[in-house]
Amino acid sequence: MSRQRDRLLASVSDALKDARERARPLPEVVALEEGCEDPHVLAARFCEELRALAGFATIVHDAAACSAAVSEYLSSRAVRSVAVQSAPLAKRVGTGLAGLCVAQAVAQDKAALERCDASLLEASSLLADTGAAIVVLGNSQDRVLPYLPRTCVIVAPMSALHSTMSLASYGCIREALDSTVAGEALIVAGPSRSADIEKTLVLGAHGPQALAVFLIEEPA
C-alpha cells in the first residue's frame, strides 16, 4: 500500500522536475463580489431565481408564521409525514407544524426516512443569484434528507442571504470544517432533475420532485 503511494508520488515528483525551477506563485483568490446588500432586494431575487428552477420560495415573518406556511404548503402536496433535520431553526419550525406526522430524522433509520413524504432542512446560506441554499448535514440520517423524500422544504433566516457565491457565503462551510463537523455541506438549487433523454427536462429524477424555501424575516 505504502509502496504504491511512494511510487505514485515519486512519478509525480519526477514528472515535475522542470516546473520546480519556475516555482509558479499561488494565484490570488478570485473574490466573487457581493452586490446589493438590501435583504429584501436579495430575497426577491432569490425567490425569482428559485422559481425559474421550478422551485417555490416565499417570505414569512417569524418562525410561527413559517410553521403555518410550511404546513399549508405540505398539505397542498398531500404530505402526511415529515422528517426534520437536527438543526435549531428546522426543529423550531418542525415543532409548530400542524396536522402532520413529524419526526426527528436522527431517530429514524434510512428505510423509514425513505417512506417519509417530506423533509425539513435548515440552510446556513442562501445565494440570491442562483436560488441556491447551503445546508450542512452532520449525521448519516440528516445526509439522506435532501434526496429520499419526494418533497424538500428548507427554512432559513433572511440574514443568510448573499448576493452570490462569495467567500462570505462559503463561511458556513469553513465554520463546519473548523468545528470538525463531518458529513456534507450541500448546495442545493431546485428540485432534482435530469435531461438525459433527448435533453428533455424531467423533474424529480432521483431526489425530490418539489423544493420550497421559506425565508424568515425575524427568526428569533
Partner 1 sequence: MATQIGGRGDSSGFLRPEAPAVLASTLERSVAAARAARARIDWERLRDAAHEIKAYAIENLDRLLVEFETRFTARGGTVLWAPTAADGVAHLLDICRRHGATSVVKGKSMVSEELAVNEHLGAAGIEAVETDLGEYIVQLAGQRPSHIVGPALHLSRQDVGAIFQRTLGVEFTDDPEALMTHARLRLRARYLAAQVGMTGANFAVAETGTIAVIENEGNGGLSSSVPPVHVFLMGIEKIIPRLSDLPVFLQLLARSATGQKIEVYTHHFLGAEPGKTVYCIIVDGGRTELLADPKSRASLYCIRCGACLNVCPVYRRAGGFAYPGAYGGPIGAAIAPTLSGMAHAGQLPFASTLCGACQDECPVKIDLAHQLVHRRFLARQADTTRGGVVARGIGVWARAMQDLTSYRRSVRWLRRAAAVGRRIRWYPGVLGAWARSRALPEPPRASFKEWWERRT
Residue 189 binding partner 1, by CB under 8 A: yes
The closest of 123, 128, 220 to 176, measured between CA atoms, is 123
Instruction: Convert 45-57 to b/e letters by CB count within 10 Å (16 or more is b).
Output: bbbebbeebebbb
Candidates 116, 208, 212, 215; binder of partner 1 (CB under 8 A) is 208
Q: How far is the CB of 98 from partner 1 (least distance, A)?
A: 29
- Site map 39..78 versus partner 1, x via CB under 8 A: ----------x---x-------------------------
Among 66, 82, 83, 188, binds partner 1 (CB under 8 A): 188
Sheet-wide strand order for 56-62: 56-62, 210-218, 151-157, 118-122, 81-84, 101-104
Tell which positions 139-168 bind partner 1, by CB under 8 A: 139-140, 143-144, 146-148, 165-167
Cβ atoms of 203 and 144 within 8 Å: the answer is no
Nearer to partner 1, 19 or 220 (CB): 19
Among 48, 72, 184, 218, binds partner 1 (CB under 8 A): 184
From the list 36, 64, 107, 195, which residue makes contact with partner 1 (rule: CB under 8 A)? 195
Q: How would you write 202-216 as a 3-class SS string?
A: EECCCCCCEEEEEEE
92 is a site residue for partner 1 (CB under 8 A):
no
List 76, 78, 199, 220, residue binding partner 1 (CB under 8 A): 199
Contact criterion met (CB below 8 Å) for 137 and 146: yes
Cα–Cα distance for residue pair 146/11, rounded to 1 Å: 41
At 62 the three-state DSSP class reads strand
Contact call for residue 202 and partner 1 (CB under 8 A): yes
